Amino acid sequence: MTKVLGSVLMRKPKLRNRSVRLGPRFLRAFQFAAEKHSGQTRKASTIPYIAHLMGVASLVLEAGGDEDLAIAALLHDVVEDCGGAPMLKEVRRRFGSRVAKVVDGCTDADTYPKAPWRERKENYIAHLKRADADTRLVSAADKLNNVRSIVSDYRAIGESVWSRFNGGREGTLWYYRTLRDEFLRHKRNRITRELELAVTDLMLLAEKSLES
C-alpha cells in the first residue's frame, strides 16, 4: 500500500495551463496558409482571409491548444478552399498526421464541384457527432470566429448581411444554432461557452430585426 501510494505521489500532475512554445513548424504553417489563401478575402469584404485563420488560431491557443492544434487552426480551410484532397496529402507530408486529421475533420468539402450547401452542412454536423476532441476544439473556434464576425456586421449593415451566405437568413441561423447545440452536448470549455453567447446574440439580433 505504501509503495503504491508513494508511486501515486511521485507522479507529476498534468499542467493544463503550461505555456505553449510555437516553433519553426508554426511559422512555416503561417507562411503556407498565407501563400495558399493569398488574394482571398472574407465574405463581401476587403479583409484578407488570413485574418480569419489568425483569429481561429488565437482562440485555440487561448483555450489551451498546443502547437499542432494551432497549426491545424491556421490550415483548417486550406483543403476546402485551396485544392481539395491533394492538398490534404500535402498538409500531412508537411505538418504530420495529427494536423492533417484535424484539418480533414474541419473540412466539409474536399471535391469539386461541391455538394449542395444544405447537404454539406447536414453531413458536417453528423460528422461532428463522431469527431475527436482535437477536431471539435478547432472547429468550434472556427465557428466562434465566424459568428462573431456575422454579429459585428449585422449590427453595422442589418439584414443585407444574409445575402453573403448560400444558406440565406434562415439557413445560416439554423446552421449555427444546430452547431451550438452539437458542441454543447459535450463538456463546456472556453470556446463552446463563448460560442453559446455569440449564437444567442445573433438570434436576438435576428428576432429584433423582424420586430422592427
Question: Each residue of 26-59: pLDDT tens digit?
Answer: 999 999 999 999 999 998 889 999 999 999 999 9
Note if 181 is an active site residue: no
Give mean pLDDT, residues 102-130: 91
Instruction: Give CA separation, 72 vs 35, 44, 119, 136, 167, in Å.
Output: 16, 25, 25, 12, 26
Tens-digit pLDDT profile for residues 165-197: 999 999 999 999 999 999 999 999 999 999 999
* pLDDT category of residue 5 using cuts at 50, 70 and 90: very low
Q: How far apart are CA 205 and CA 47, in angstroms?
A: 23
Active site residue: 66, 81, 153, 201, which one? 81
Task: Cell numbers for 52, please give them.
Answer: 480569419
Q: What is the pLDDT of residues 51-99, one digit of tens each?
A: 999 999 999 999 999 999 999 999 999 999 998 999 999 999 999 999 9
Known catalytic residue at 108 = no
**Model pLDDT, residue 20:** 83
pLDDT band for 17, please (50, 70, 90 cuts): low
Among 35, 67, 77, 80, the active-site one is 80
Q: What is the pLDDT of residue 109?
A: 79
d(CA 179, CA 196): 10
Q: How many CA atoms lie within 13 A of 37 on its CB side?
A: 25
* Residue tagged 476546402 (cell numbers): 80
Residue 113, preceding peptide bond in cis (omega within 30° of 0): yes
